[in-house]
Amino acid sequence: MSQSHASVGAVLLALGMIAAPAFAASGTGREQAPEKPVNLEIARGSDFMHYHPDLRFRRDGMQQFEAGNHSRAFELFQRAARYSDKPAQAMVADMFWDGRGVAADRCLAYVWMDLAAERGYPVFLAFRERYWSQLTDTERACATERGGDIYAEYGDPVAKERLEHMLRKRRMTFTGSRVGYVSPFLRARVPSNTGWAPVPIDQVYDRRFWFSKEYHEWQDEIWERPVRGVVEVGPIGGGDGATPAAEH
């Protein structure tokens, strides 16, 4: 296993993003937890995952990757990437870098890692710097040239809108009170590992689940802080000159 894959996988594991990509409020290696914990029974449920294809395809992709089905994993990560999932975009980059499930292409690997770093999350910026430091001048020129097409298809301006379309479909099923105040004493049942679990209905309709602005702010909470207790990404900024964003 290459050093780059070991680092990407370790970061996702440390953040609880592989087996349960549901933004747990603890055990993430971050300095602080979100103010309001997330109910994992809801976030792991089939209804939640149906309307969050970013998380569903990333989860399925990692399962296929760990089973050795790299080509299928690559396809699933790309599908998650279409819904603005930054960890999945980083995995696409890593697979291009290592040639797992797809022909090795360090030029495209950099473009995809640059895409994963689009929001300025420190861990993906560090990977991007490391990739850049290892590219040849020809590969750097290639990345600058090819970045535009990737961003046109997978960049946040279009990818976030795809996810918003799915979230909007779910919101259309809400009644008026459910998008505002909801009594925490009401209960709903959601599928769990042991059958059906009763949970407060205000948690089911948490705005972070179903409204794009709050959902992405929630992701920012998780990814903007440097990760502690994770394997070293490696030297960054070791190349000759600053790291540019791919042309887009």
pLDDT tens, 28-48?
Answer: 444 444 456 555 666 666 778
The pLDDT of residue 187: 46
User: pTM for this one?
Assistant: 0.78
In a domain, 168, yes or no: yes
- Which pair of structure tokens corresponds to residue 144? 């600058």
For the cut 50, the answer to whether the pLDDT of residue 151 exceeds it is: yes
The answer to whether residue 86 scores a pLDDT higher than 70 is yes
Q: Which of 118, 113, 116, 117 is nearest to 96 (CA)?
A: 113
Q: Is residue 23 part of a domain?
A: yes
| Residue % of the chain over a pLDDT of 70 | 61
Two structure tokens written together for 167: 């979230």
pLDDT at residue 172, rounded to an integer: 84
Mean pLDDT of 166-184: 67
Number of domains observed in the structure of the chain: 1
Residue 68 belongs to a domain: yes
Of 101 and 16, the one with more pLDDT? 101
Domain that holds residue 75: 3-223
Give me the pLDDT at residue 116, please. 96
Q: How far is CA 16 from the centre of its chain?
A: 11
For residue 242, being part of any structural domain is answered with no
Average pLDDT over residues 118-130: 93
More confident residue, 1 or 218: 218
Domain annotation covers residue 208: yes
Residue 26 lies in a domain: yes
Gap between the Cα atoms of 236 and 31, Å rounded: 22
Structural domain includes residue 207: yes
> Quick one: pLDDT at residue 131?
96
Strand pairing report for 187-192 and 195-200: antiparallel
Assigned domain for 199 exists:
yes
